[in-house]
Amino acid sequence: MRMGIGYDIHPLVEGRKLILGGEELAFPLGLQGHSDADVLSHALGDALLGAAGLGDIGRHFPDTEEAYRGVSSLKLLTEIARLVRSAGYEIVNADVTVILQRPRLAGSRARMEKNISRALGLEEGRVNIKATTNEGLDAIGRGEAIAAYAVAAVEGKKI
Ligand code: MG
């Protein structure tokens, strides 16, 4: 069994869709970034790559690459799951904490878990998503950014 950790943060700006865990949320601001800027999926992708000893998301999907402009981060997660399995590991579980002041994620959390489970080829119950505010403190608390932490566990496939 191996563990990995991931962290990401993106600024909230006008003129962008807000996509978290593959769900488009009704909100006046969205996350800035080269891809769809799905900060939750990026943190999780880094945790999965880290658990398998495969580096990080920036190494596999550079933000200088035109091919990844506006790309759905769920597609990146599908590719990451393929890389993890090619390296001889199966994904055991993943746990994500999203830190944001607004909007509330309670109503969309289950759909996010489903989107991510599907993207990773996992049965339900292996991906857990939580949300917390920053109690009004710092840039996240002022609603200027959203961050996410993730941990993931993988285990070596039996031969
Ligand atoms: Mg990112």
pLDDT at 52 over 80: yes
- Please state, in angstroms and rounded to a whole number, the distance separating the CA atoms of residues 152 and 7: 12
Strands (E) across the chain are located at 2-14, 18-20, 23-25, 29-31, 89-99, 127-132, 145-156
* Ligand 1 center–CA 148 separation, angstroms: 10
- Please state, in angstroms and rounded to a whole number, the distance separating the CA atoms of residues 67 and 75: 12
* Ligand 1 center–CA 158 separation, angstroms: 33
Is residue 39 a contact partner of residue 98, using CB atoms and an 8 Å limit?
yes
How high is the mean pLDDT of the chain? Answer: 95
Q: What is the pTM of this model?
A: 0.95
Q: What percent of the chain has pLDDT over 90?
A: 90
* Ligand 1 center–CA 88 separation, angstroms: 26
* Ligand 1 center–CA 147 separation, angstroms: 9
